[in-house]
């Protein structure tokens, strides 16, 4: 079965680029999308992440979050209501990926065991990213490691940004598309020379600026780059103009 991916962007937020690209881009502030995705097959439609509203997320951040659409309006733009969604893959449990989850009354939420454990007991530096009220009480399906969700859809454990982050690999007619899961932009996959140090050696990928384990984050980004025909970075500005991937 071949699938289509529809990015929907209810909100966007100001990010210092250094939060996306480790040791690069600091001091460059940009509005980046805070998306969720509808993934459509012939008989099944499911969602990846939920995004969150400006009202909820602005209270958790130093920088502002701007609403573009309400969550319900974003769903309605593709003919869906919150009640229609029965399956959601949560790439991880940081607030910008799950803040709308409780607006979905009938959904099962697929999450990695390591992510749920970490969200419940985060490192103090990350505690602000995991407000328990956003995820406690959800109807979780807890998985461990790489997991074949259904025909043409594989979940890949992609740790580093957080311990139980997962990528979503999706077979499309244009090849294998991978929603990274970890927070990044396309620059993470096409680094140019130049960083904090002068070096001739250019790394193959740049880990997310926010990470718990830099080496794991590098390996996860490299794995995505190696297997994907189409890389879908979680916060890339190009998502704003892509109504469907592939289009």
* Contact positions vs Zn ion (CB under 5 A): 96, 183
Closest approach, Cβ 129 to Zn ion, in A, equals 9
| Residue whose CB is less far from Zn ion, 1 or 127 | 127
Do residues 213 and 159 touch, judged by C-beta distance below 8 A? Answer: yes
CA atoms of 68 and 66, how far apart (whole Å): 6
Closest approach, Cβ 151 to Zn ion, in A, equals 28
| Residue whose CB is less far from Zn ion, 98 or 192 | 98
Please name the residues in contact with 121: beta carbons below 8 A apart, sequence gap of 6 or more. Answer: none
| Residue whose CB is less far from Zn ion, 129 or 177 | 129
Closest approach, Cβ 32 to Zn ion, in A, equals 9
Question: How many CB atoms neighbour CB 187 within 10 A?
Answer: 17
Please name the residues in contact with 95: beta carbons below 8 A apart, sequence gap of 6 or more. Answer: 52, 56, 57, 60, 129, 130, 131, 134
Q: Is 160 left (phi over 0), alpha (psi -120 to 50) or beta?
A: left
Closest approach, Cβ 138 to Zn ion, in A, equals 18
Which residue, judged by CB position, is nearest to Zn ion in the bound state?
A: 183
Could you tell me which residues are beta bridge partners of residue 16? Answer: 29
| Residue whose CB is less far from Zn ion, 44 or 212 | 212
CA atoms of 204 and 213, how far apart (whole Å): 17
Closest approach, Cβ 216 to Zn ion, in A, equals 17
Distances (CA, A) of 238 to 7, 25, 121, 130: 10, 18, 34, 27
| Residue whose CB is less far from Zn ion, 31 or 200 | 31
Q: E strands along the chain, which residues?
A: 4-16, 29-40, 45-48, 65-67, 87-89, 108-112, 140-143, 147-150, 153-157, 166-172, 175-179, 230-232
Closest approach, Cβ 82 to Zn ion, in A, equals 21
| Residue whose CB is less far from Zn ion, 91 or 172 | 91
CA atoms of 204 and 188, how far apart (whole Å): 9
| Residue whose CB is less far from Zn ion, 125 or 198 | 125
Closest approach, Cβ 235 to Zn ion, in A, equals 6
């Amino acid at each position: 079965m071949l699938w289509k991916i529809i990015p929907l962007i209810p909100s966007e937020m100001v990010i210092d680029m250094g939060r996306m690209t480790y040791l690069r881009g600091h001091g460059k502030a940009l509005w980046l999308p805070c998306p969720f995705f509808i993934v459509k097959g012939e008989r099944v439609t499911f969602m990846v992440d939920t995004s969150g509203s400006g009202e909820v997320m602005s209270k958790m951040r130093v920088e502002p979050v701007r609403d573009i659409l309400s969550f319900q309006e974003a769903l309605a733009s593709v003919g869906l209501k919150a009640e229609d969604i029965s399956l959601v893959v949560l790439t991880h449990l940081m607030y910008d990926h799950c803040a709308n989850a409780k607006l979905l009354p009938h959904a099962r939420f697929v999450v990695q065991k390591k992510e749920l454990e970490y969200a419940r007991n985060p490192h103090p530096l990350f505690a602000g990213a995991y407000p328990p009220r956003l995820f406690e009480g959800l109807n979780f399906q807890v998985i461990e490691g790489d997991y074949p969700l259904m025909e043409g859809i594989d979940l890949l454990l992609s740790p580093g940004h957080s311990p139980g982050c997962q990528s979503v690999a999706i077979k499309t007619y244009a090849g294998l598309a991978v929603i990274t899961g970890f927070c990044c932009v396309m620059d993470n996959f096409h680094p140019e020379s130049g960083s904090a140090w002068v070096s001739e050696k250019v790394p193959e990928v740049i880990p997310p600026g926010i990470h718990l384990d830099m080496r794991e984050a590098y390996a996860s980004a490299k794995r995505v780059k190696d297997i994907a025909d189409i890389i879908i970075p979680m916060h890339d500005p190009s998502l704003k103009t892509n109504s469907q991937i592939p289009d």
